[in-house]
Amino acid sequence: MVTVALDADFFRRWLSAVSAAVDREADRLTELDSAIGDADHGANMRRGLTAAVAALEEQAPSSPGAVLTLAGRRLISTVGGASGPLYGTLLRRAGKALGDQESVEPEQLREALRTGVEAVAQLGSAARGDKTMLDALYPAVEALDDSGGGFEAARRAAEEGAAATVPMRARRGRASYLGERSVGHQDPGATSSALFFAALAETAGTTSAGESA
């Protein structure tokens, strides 16, 4: 079994993979958002992550915590609407939890992400089942917990959590104004959250394959 080194380079590659995934899925994210939101989620996330990756390339933080903190700051400053503060808080709080260690273990990442998710819940006054990004984030972190750092399990859990928002009635965010009309649509925030964990699994798999070669 190959142990993936969760260092600053890994985290930079993870966020680059997130940016690439959001770029590919931007139209779909906007389409989902057009049904129950402002129809700008894809464009906003693409702009924010592009700026975050550019900042990481320019400043090259030397620790995982610093990578997440810088990316979070850049998302807050460049992403409009609620997504910037929410995703920025997720990354900044997770980065702060990791501190300045040069490399972290999977269980440390899991606990840092858990801290970030709880901060998102507090900021948005939301809970699991409210048809928000939390419906993908919570299952993903739980899957990391259950599998001892299983990135692929987290990816599946996040994607299943996002799909499970379709029959929900939104209780938070702009979609909540639609009442019953929010039922039948997948939440765009949960969908973009699932992309974060898909990119995490992709990055871990690529790293493992490279180390095995």
Express each pLDDT in 98-157 by its tens digit.
Answer: 999 999 999 999 999 999 999 999 999 999 999 999 999 999 999 997 555 599 999 999
pLDDT at 208 over 60: no
Q: What is the pLDDT of residues 22-50, one digit of tens each?
A: 999 999 999 998 988 888 999 999 999 99
pLDDT bin (cut points 50, 70, 90) of residue 172 is confident
> Which among 33, 37, 77, 85 has a CA at the least distance from the CA of 55?
77
How is residue 14 written in tokens? 């993870």
pLDDT at 1 over 50: no
Most confidently predicted of 4-8, 103-107, 196-200: 196-200
DSSP annotation of 73 reads H
CATH of domain 6-207: 1.25.40.340
Q: What is the pLDDT of residues 53-90, one digit of tens each?
A: 999 999 999 999 999 999 999 999 998 788 999 999 99
Report whether 127 contacts 94 (CB < 8 A). Answer: no
Pairing of strands 6-7, 103-104: antiparallel
Q: Where are the domains of the chain?
A: 6-207
